[in-house]
């Protein structure tokens, strides 16, 4: 295991690691909180790391921290500034403890062309360690408003799909307990 003597390379907003989608891994060991940095998802934190992403096409995206080694918080911001400060960032969404999992935080949002999206991952407690950020397209019927009708008159009705990067909407019940 490598010993880190300083902060990770993406410790500061200005040094956010560029990502193209998919999954990235890193660490928040020795990370710091910058002066003026917001409390991501309401957590005071202090060990934030940053990634940035500029979409090539507009559409729904979901970002999640599943696979991280500690209780994460996730905040997604957007800006059109090439060299943003915290004052330039617009909050898109933030989360702590998605789907009743302490180590996973998740934000689903609609990405628009012309914007760069910044992902801040911080600790909800004093923990540090391996960080995982996964950005993908959620299923088209992720939200109740976009549900897929099941049509047909013969049984069994067979439909296929997936729930990869699917989310629970605010107020959505916990199904089957």
Chunk the chain into consecutive blocks of 10 residues (it has 177) and report each block's average pLDDT, rounded to whole numbers. Answer: 77 95 92 96 94 93 93 97 97 87 87 97 92 83 68 64 58 68
**Residue 1 has what pLDDT?**
45
**Residue 99 has what pLDDT?**
66
N-to-C CA span, the chain: 41
**Residue 38 has what pLDDT?**
96
**Residue 114 has what pLDDT?**
96
Q: How far apart, in Å, are the Cα atoms of 125 and each of 46, 50, 73, 77, 99?
A: 9, 18, 9, 22, 18
**Residue 164 has what pLDDT?**
55
Q: Which pTM does this prediction carry?
A: 0.80
**Residue 166 has what pLDDT?**
61
- From its phi and psi, is residue 112 left (phi > 0), alpha (psi between -120 and 50) or beta? beta
**Residue 156 has what pLDDT?**
65
> How buried is residue 174: exposed, middle or buried, by Cβ count under 10 Å (0-12/13-18/19+)?
exposed
Q: Distance (Å, rounded) from C-alpha 26 to C-alpha 140?
A: 29
**Residue 22 has what pLDDT?**
87
Q: Distance (Å, rounded) from C-alpha 164 to C-alpha 128?
A: 27
């Amino acid at each position: 295991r490598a010993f880190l003597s300083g902060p990770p390379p993406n410790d500061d907003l200005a040094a956010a690691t560029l990502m193209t989608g998919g999954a990235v891994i890193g660490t928040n060991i020795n990370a710091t909180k910058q002066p003026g940095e917001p409390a991501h998802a309401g957590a005071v934190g202090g060990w934030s790391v940053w990634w940035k992403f500029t979409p090539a096409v507009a559409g729904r995206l979901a970002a999640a921290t599943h696979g991280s080694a500690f209780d994460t918080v996730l905040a997604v911001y957007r800006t059109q500034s090439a060299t943003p400060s915290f004052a330039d960032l617009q909050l898109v969404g933030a989360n702590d403890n998605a789907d009743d999992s302490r180590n996973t935080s998740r934000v689903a949002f609609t990405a628009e062309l012309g914007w760069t999206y910044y992902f801040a991952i911080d600790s909800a407690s004093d923990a540090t360690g391996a960080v995982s950020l996964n950005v993908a397209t959620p299923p088209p019927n992720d939200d109740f408003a976009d549900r897929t009708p099941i049509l047909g008159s013969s049984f069994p009705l067979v439909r296929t799909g997936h729930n990869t990067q699917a989310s629970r909407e605010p107020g959505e019940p916990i199904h089957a307990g």
